[in-house]
């Protein structure tokens, strides 16, 4: 089996090939009449942007063998960044043409413009809307489910309109080899879309789960206990997550990613997700009835304990405790005696999710739990405020670079902790973050 590093390199090469192939094709075969540099440069940018847009379907397809070396969250964040680059390339294409050939500004008149120009405008406007909604979804107060559906529609419209624009101009498509290349790319993109929306949901549909327990936890958190129905379930590594479809079938557009909070040693396929009420989709979780059929797509994620270290430091904020609980419960079931420190930031004493169980786990494991309270009671003798470098220095033995760190919680907290670890001389490869904001 290929190592993670080798697989990473192979997939990066494959990704670059699909982006650069259209540009290399421009230089092969029979060539159309030469044009000025800036015109050809703008066309190259447009082709590269369109190729990147088409590949976005593959980045979000959740191919486990592809995402495993990096983790699903890294792939999704890369998808967001590369989408901005693709949009920039696509927009730069007409802007350059308008500068070097001002007469083309007449194409902005959608009434008189030829249909190939209208498709170019439709693709560009769809991309601009897609980016605005993605970056400012929270500020615009767009529900995640509505955003996700519109995101998919706008992406499909942008790619299809871009392809029709390219076919309409057809300047570089007279050569049979170039036509074959673009036909192949288009069929590949369509196959990715069919896999995501038809083939994969069919497999998930055949492996349903049933809610067998709905358990109320501290901190406005609810645990869903799910039992596989008619199959053995899946094996996962503690720290991983899965996509949950709670209402409806796997063909539903939107699923929601949640960490698995149960032990990976459960031998009956039963899994748990502990979900905090954040006022969106999550506010429905406490009302889920026992017996409800649900669907899980997983496991995913590279937020897992595996690298050798003298000590593992788990750093959780709020509901970021859920993957940490999976790690600790698994260690307990395996009789793992490695030293672990959990630094757990919470609002107050009463809202500490799994507080009582953590006290029990300290007796079963070589575990030290340090609670850090933002609003502690008057007689509190522990850490106050937020998890900082000073907190690390008070509770972690040096050298700090010898420990392995796992961070999960609100983005602001994780950013601050990563900065603190960097200032303490902890190398980047020694700390791992899990961010579930895939929007």
215 falls in which pLDDT band (50, 70, 90)? very high
Q: What are the residues facing 242 on neighbouring strands?
A: 258
| Higher pLDDT among residues 341 and 309, named by residue | 341
Measure Cα distances from 413 to 245, 387, 404, 408 in Å.
28, 8, 18, 9
∠ CA 352-354-355, nearest 5°, is 60
Number of residues that make up the chain: 439
Residue 1 has pLDDT above 50, yes or no: no
* Listed residue (346, 348, 342, 336) closest to 323, CA to CA: 342
29 falls in which pLDDT band (50, 70, 90)? low
Residue 308 has pLDDT above 70, yes or no: no
Q: Which residue has the tokens 């190592």?
A: 3
The total of other beta-carbon atoms located within 10 Å of residue 307's CB is 10
Tokens standing for 187?
């069929």
* Listed residue (272, 281, 259, 278) closest to 233, CA to CA: 272
Q: What is the mean pLDDT of the chain?
A: 86
* Per-residue model confidence (pLDDT) at position 288: 94
Tokens standing for 435?
């961010």
Residue 68 has pLDDT above 80, yes or no: no
345 falls in which pLDDT band (50, 70, 90)? very high
* Per-residue model confidence (pLDDT) at position 20: 77
* Per-residue model confidence (pLDDT) at position 206: 93
Residue 130 has pLDDT above 80, yes or no: yes
Q: How many whole angstroms separate alpha carbon 324 and alpha carbon 308? A: 18
- Decide if 342 contacts 331 (C-beta within 8 A): no
238 falls in which pLDDT band (50, 70, 90)? very high
Share of the chain above pLDDT 70, in %: 91
Residue 2 has pLDDT above 60, yes or no: no
Segment 323-344 mean pLDDT: 94
* Per-residue model confidence (pLDDT) at position 66: 66
Segment 329-356 mean pLDDT: 94
* Per-residue model confidence (pLDDT) at position 281: 81
Q: Where on the phi/psi map is residue 380: left (φ > 0), alpha (ψ -120 to 50), or beta? A: beta
Segment 404-418 mean pLDDT: 90
Share of the chain above pLDDT 90, in %: 41
């Amino acid at each position: 089996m290929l190592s993670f590093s080798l697989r990473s390199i192979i997939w990066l090469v494959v990704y670059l090939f699909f982006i650069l192939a259209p540009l290399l094709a421009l230089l092969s075969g029979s060539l159309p009449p030469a044009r000025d540099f800036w015109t050809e440069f703008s066309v190259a940018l447009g082709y590269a942007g369109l190729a990147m847009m088409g590949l976005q379907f593959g980045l979000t397809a959740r191919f486990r063998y592809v995402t495993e070396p990096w983790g699903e969250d890294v792939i999704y964040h890369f998808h967001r960044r590369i989408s901005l680059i693709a949009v920039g390339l696509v927009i730069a294409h007409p802007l350059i043409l308008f500068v070097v050939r001002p007469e083309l500004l007449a194409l902005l008149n959608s009434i008189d413009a030829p249909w190939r120009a209208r498709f170019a405008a439709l693709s560009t406007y769809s991309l601009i809307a897609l980016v605005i909604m993605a970056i400012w979804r929270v500020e615009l107060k767009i529900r995640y489910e509505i955003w996700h559906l519109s995101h998919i529609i706008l992406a499909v419209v942008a790619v299809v309109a871009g392809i029709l624009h390219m076919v309409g101009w057809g300047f570089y498509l007279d050569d049979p080899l170039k036509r074959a290349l673009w036909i192949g790319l288009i069929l590949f993109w369509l196959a990715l879309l069919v896999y995501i929306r038809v083939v994969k949901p069919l497999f998930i549909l055949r492996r349903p789960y049933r809610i067998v327990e709905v358990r109320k936890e501290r901190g406005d958190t609810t645990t869903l206990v799910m039992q596989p129905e008619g199959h053995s379930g899946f094996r996962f590594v503690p720290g991983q997550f899965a996509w949950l479809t709670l209402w409806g079938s796997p063909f539903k557009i939107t699923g929601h990613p949640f960490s698995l909070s149960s032990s990976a040693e459960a031998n009956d396929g039963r899994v748990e997700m502990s979900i905090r009420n954040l006022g969106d989709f999550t506010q429905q979780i406490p009302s889920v009835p026992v017996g409800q059929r649900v669907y899980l797509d997983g496991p995913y994620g590279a937020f897992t304990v595996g690298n050798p270290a003298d000590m593992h430091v788990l750093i959780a904020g709020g509901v970021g405790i859920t993957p940490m609980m999976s790690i600790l419960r698994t260690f307990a079931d395996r009789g793992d005696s490695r030293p672990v420190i959990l630094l757990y930031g919470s609002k107050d004493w009463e809202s500490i999710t799994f507080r009582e169980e953590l006290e029990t786990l300290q007796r079963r494991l070589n575990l030290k739990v340090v609670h850090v309270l933002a609003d502690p009671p008057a007689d509190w003798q522990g850490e106050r405020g937020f998890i900082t470098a000073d907190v690390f220095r008070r509770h972690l033995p040096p050298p700090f670079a010898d420990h392995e760190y796992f961070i999960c919680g609100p983005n602001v907290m994780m950013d601050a902790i990563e900065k603190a670890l960097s200032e303490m001389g902890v190398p980047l490869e020694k700390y791992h973050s899990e961010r579930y904001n895939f929007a």
